[in-house]
Amino acid sequence: MSSSSGLPPIFAETPIALVPACTVAEFPANTFLESIAIGPDNTLFITSHLDGKIFRIDSSGEPIVHTTIAGKATGLTFTADGNLLLTAWNEQKISTVFTLSPQGDAAVLVTMPDAIFLNGLTPLKGDSYLIADSYRGAIWQLNAAAKTVSIWLEHPALARSSTENEFPAVNGLKVFGNTLYASNTEKMQIVKIPIQPDGQPGEPEIFLQAVNLDDFAFDQEGNLYGTTHIYNSVVKITPDGSVTTIAQAKQGMTGSTALAFGQREDDRTSIYVVTNGGMSFPPSTGLEPAKVVRLDVGIAGYPLHRSQAVMS
C-alpha cells in the first residue's frame, strides 16, 4: 500500500503481518453489518444496521434472524444477566436503547430524544453502561436497572471537526483496566479517558492519531484490535502505539465495521469481524457480500464484564 492510495499514513506505511482467517458466514451485498456481541456459548449476535435486524449464528453456522426492531440498529453488548442491550433509532428516528432477551423479545429500555446518533456501547460497572453519541460528541451513561441516562462526558476530543462532515466522531468504546478508550473516526484518533474512583471521567488525552478506527477490542495483554471500515482492514495496536495490519481485503475485510473476541474456552484467541462489503466506500471491483470472518490472533481477549471494581 502507498499513500497515493488515499490511506492515512499510519495504514500506508504500517507493517503487515497477516493472521489466519476464515469466512464464517456471508450475507447478500448491500447488507450493512454494524456490530457484534458474542455470548458465553460462543453464539454470535450481529446487527444489520439499515433494516433493524439482529442475527444470531450458533454452532450450526447458519445466520438466523433473532429479532427485528422498527428502526435502525447500531451497537450491541451483553448485560451480566445474559440479555443484550441495543443502541438504535426507533421508527420516529428517536435515539433508543432496547433490551433483547435470549428468546429474541425486544423491548424499549429508554428513549433518548436529546441524543443524536447512538453508536458503540460498553459495560462500565454493575448496571452502568457507556454509550457513544457520534454526532453530539458525547458519551452517555446508562443505568439499565434504573432506566436512567445522563451525559458522562461531552468534550471536543469526542466531537466532529465540522457538523457538515457525515463521518461519525466518537464511535467505538471499550474499557481496559481503569481507562476508557474511544475511537473518533472523523478525526482519525483514539482517545483515552481515565475512569476515576467514583466512576466519573478524568481528562481525555489523545492516545494515537492518524488511525481510522470504527470498533475495536482488547486482548489480555492490552493490545487493541480495530476495524478500519473504509480502509478494508483490521489493525493491531500495541500499548506503546505500534500498529500492524493483520488482515486486509483479501481476507474478507472489505468494509470492516466491528469485531469481538470468541468466548468459548477453546476460542478465546479468535476475533470475529463483521463487514458491509464496502457499502460506505465501494471498491473498484464493486460491492462484495457482507461477511463474518474469524481471525486467530493467538492471544485471549480481555473480558468486557470484569470482576474487579471500576468504581468504589
In this prediction, residue 4 has a pLDDT band, given cuts at 50, 70 and 90, of very low
Show the cell assigned to 210.
492518524
pLDDT of residue 194: 98
276-289 pLDDT per residue, tens: 999 999 999 999 99
What is the pTM (predicted TM-score) of this model? Answer: 0.95
| Statement: residue 139 has pLDDT above 70 | yes
3-state SS record for 69-82: CCEEEEEEEECCCC
167-208 pLDDT per residue, tens: 999 999 999 999 999 999 999 999 999 999 999 999 999 999
| Statement: residue 312 has pLDDT above 70 | no
66-79 pLDDT per residue, tens: 999 999 999 999 99
| Percentage of the chain exceeding pLDDT 70 | 95
| Statement: residue 275 has pLDDT above 90 | yes
| Statement: residue 146 has pLDDT above 50 | yes
In this prediction, residue 92 has a pLDDT band, given cuts at 50, 70 and 90, of very high
What does pLDDT average to over the chain? Answer: 94
pLDDT of residue 306: 61
| Of 295, 293, 287, the residue nearest 57 (C-alpha) | 293
pLDDT of residue 118: 98
Q: Identify any residues that bridge with 312 across adjacent strands, giving them in sequence order.
A: none
Lowest mean pLDDT among 90-94, 244-248, 283-287: 283-287
| Of 291, 303, 139, the residue nearest 217 (C-alpha) | 303
pLDDT of residue 3: 36
Cβ atoms < 10 Å from Cβ of 127: 16
Sheet containing strand 216-218, strands side by side = 216-218, 224-227, 234-237, 243-247
Which backbone phi and psi does 202 adopt, to 5 degrees?
-85, -165
What distance in Å separates the CA atoms of residue 10 and residue 231, rounded to the nearest whole number? 11
Which backbone phi and psi does 11 adopt, to 5 degrees?
-95, -30
Which backbone phi and psi does 282 adopt, to 5 degrees?
-60, 135
C-beta of residue 274 within 8 angstroms of C-beta of residue 46: yes
In this prediction, residue 310 has a pLDDT band, given cuts at 50, 70 and 90, of very low
C-beta of residue 135 within 8 angstroms of C-beta of residue 171: no
- Mean of the pLDDT values across residues 37-46? 97
In this prediction, residue 309 has a pLDDT band, given cuts at 50, 70 and 90, of very low
pLDDT of residue 11: 78
| Statement: residue 307 has pLDDT above 50 | no
